[in-house]
Amino acid sequence: MLDYDEEAERYDVLRGGEPRAAAAADAVLGLIPGRARELLDVACGTGIVTRRFAAARAGLRVTGVDLSPAMTRMAAARLPGGVLRADSRRLPFAGARFDAVVSVWLLHLMSGPEDVDAVVGECARVLRPGGVYVTSVHKGASHNVGSDIDAVLADRPPSPVSDAVDAVDERAAAQGLLPAGEARFRGHGQGRSPRRALADLRRGWFVTLPPGAPAADEFAARLAGLPDQDRPRPDPVFRLRAYRKPFDGNPERSGGD
């Protein structure tokens, strides 16, 4: 697992910067009703996407939370007065506070089903009836673009998938949330080259190949042997799912903008 305090300063540069942030924000906002006035961005990271939510819609008040102190500081600089440090499994807000709750690139980091349940449960708890929860799903699969890098990495030990689509759907349903749409967006600038994949491996990106392990060294050698070491392969395409909280448990009253 990456140390996100250590990662904070280079996080945006290594993940597509503003083009990826713009694509993510547009896709999320496309799933959120225009009437929304209070939005919570859970695990907001550096705030590079969070600030775009606030800028895109007049009258939308945006709050961001993140557990990493370094990430929180960077986000607070981008959204002054709108960011605080908090654990996504125990949000420091009253119930039914927000019209929209967003958790992009979070569920895949959870250590097990219990933590995923806790996050989805908290997002549902702070969501107002009629509000929408938007989250990314199966992030790991998005990075498999069918390249020669993927072919090399296909033999690595499988990672647990805590954000599988069916599992997230089930957890949302258990909280009384109803399906409300889906979107995809391109991770601009995140197409890996062999050299970048090798650097990611060495800094602990691939959780089942910890740096220094014999298996990691074997995969490093195979990546180093690929052609066009600095040529990025295709960008990943990320997937979002949206869920609506019905009014008084009545699905018929949960539709519309």
pLDDT tens column, 38-65: 999 999 999 999 999 999 999 999 999 9
Q: Give the C-alpha separation, 191 to 207, whole Å.
A: 19
Residue 4's φ and ψ, nearest 5 degrees, are -75, -15
Residue in 30, 28, 22 with CA at minimum distance from that of residue 257: 30
Instruction: Calculate ∠ Cα 26-136-43, nearest 5°.
Output: 90
% of the chain surpassing 90 pLDDT: 80
Distance, in Å, from the CA atom of 162 to the CA atom of 175, rounded to the nearest integer, reads: 17
pTM (2 decimals)?
A: 0.90
Give the integer Cα–Cα distance in Å for 38 and 131.
Answer: 10
pLDDT of residue 234: 96
Do 97 and 35 contact (CB within 8 A), yes or no? Answer: no
CB atoms within 10 A of CB 69: 12
Q: Are 156 and 209 in contact (CB under 8 A)?
A: yes
Helix axes 4-14, 17-29, angle to 10 degrees: 90
What tokens does 242 get? Answer: 């949206």
Closest CA to 175 of 243, 83, 94: 243
Note the pLDDT of residue 253: 46
Q: Above 50 in pLDDT, residue 254? A: no
Q: Helix 165-174 vs helix 113-125: angle between axes, to the nearest 10 degrees? A: 50
